Amino acid sequence: MARHGAQWSDVEARAALRGIFDAAVAAADPRVMLASHLPPMPAGRCVVVGAGKSAALMAAALEAAWPDVELSGVVVTRYGHAVPTRRIAVIEASHPVPDANSEIGARRVLEAVRGLGAEDLVIALISGGGSALMALPAPGLTLADKQAVNRALLASGATISEMNCVRKHLSAIKGGRLAAAAFPARVVTLAISDVPGDDPAVIASGPTVPDATTFAQARAVLAHHGITPSPAVAARLAEEADETPKPGSLPHASFRMIATPAMALAAAADTARTMGFTPLILGDALEGESREMGTVMAGIARGVHCHGTPLPAPAVLLSGGETTVTIGAGPAGRGGRNTEFLLGLAVALDGASGIWAIAGDTDGIDGTDDAAGAIVAPDTLARARLAGLDPRAVLAAHDSYGLFDAIGDLVRTGPTLTNVNDVRAILCA
């Protein structure tokens, strides 16, 4: 049972938080849930394609579930995320900015679904990160054009929905174009969601589902964030006649969600209950500036710890979604959205007792570094200052990774081979 107040030691609090985070990640393991979502075995050929941080593990899970089915195809995953497969080829590529392998992989995926018949089945394995990993430039564009837009969007603080709107309209495979290429074969998508709201059209930029966004909206996203596109990109975004497939235009394609942020948070809440905490899920699709979200969450945590509102301690506040880090004109240090959230939280808590927190990306990589996230404790700021660091200055320089690395509080899981976005847990003792 959980104990109130000072009875909780730092070691116990940290272990509890890590157990809660690990439970959320385990709930999104395709080896556990993929088989139950498979369609009936096909009469014709079965071609497997896909992209995402979990694509290779999903492919391996499918091979294990259907050992006697003749499978072929190819999936694209992030470097370091491949697992052994026997019948489905795996290509590794770059994330979050696509590279040459992203284009090679996308071309092979598209080639794999061409020329199929109505009796054939395409299973598309889609997970977070697929948008960058499977990048096939639209006519008139080069991979360099897409890379430049990707970098600008990442630095601008654009939401994942905004980024994917632009990506779809610069792509020959996203926004439903992959499913269109597979016609008349039946397409069944099995997806792991990493996006707020679990919109199928947003996960990996929706290569197998209709797209309701438009070229005009893509132009508006760039304008809103002050991004001036290259002449080639501007010309592509003016191609109104080459719109993505719209709702109702892909009747041969269906979509099944096998893991979501909400499912992961529910598993985290169950684990918290077994430890004696009362969990409160604040939402699975929270968005906003990372450091500002940290400030807001600090206020809620103080309310729990000091006043028993909105629920009494001992409690765990859980949330998911994807915050953003907006980088200004000055130089920026190393830090992902989760470590920046945590440093914002720590600064706002200012050493308050009885409150610990963990935040991490369930794929095991917070941004582009080697940590999933970090842990905050009541003495985080004090230990940072002893290490010669000014927490507020570090936060301003977006160097949260450096601070947590210096005090030994990064959480390193390695690639988890799944991705249901970020999980944040705040323990109020």
361 φ, ψ (degrees, to nearest 5): -85, 130
The single residue listed with the structure tokens 């169950």 is: 270
Query: d(Cα 205, Cα 51) in Å, to the nearest integer?
Result: 11
* Position 329 pLDDT exceeds 70: no
What pLDDT is recorded for position 2? 47
User: Do the beta carbons of residue 88 and residue 74 sit within 8 Å?
Assistant: yes
User: Distances from the Cα of 186 to the Cαs of 40, 170, 179, 357, in angstroms?
Assistant: 12, 26, 9, 45
Q: What is the pLDDT of residue 34?
A: 97
| Per-residue model confidence (pLDDT) at position 1 | 42
- Reported as a single tens digit per residue, the pLDDT across 39-85 is 999 988 999 999 999 999 999 999 999 999 999 999 999 999 999 99
What domains are defined for the chain? Answer: 5-27+262-428 (3.40.1480.10), 34-259 (3.40.50.10180)
Residue 5 pLDDT: 46
How big, in percent rounded to 5, are the helix, strand and coil portions of the chain? 40, 15, 40
pLDDT for position 40: 94
pLDDT confidence of residue 190: 98
Better-predicted residue by pLDDT, 159 or 404: 404
Mean pLDDT of the chain: 94
Task: Answer whether residue 393 shows pLDDT above 80.
Answer: yes
Please state the length of the chain: 429
Confidence of residue 164 (pLDDT cuts 50, 70, 90): confident
Neighbours of 3 (CB within 10 A): 12
The full 3-state SS of 159-189, as one line of letters, equals: CHHHHHHHHHCCECCCCCHHHHHHCCCEEEE
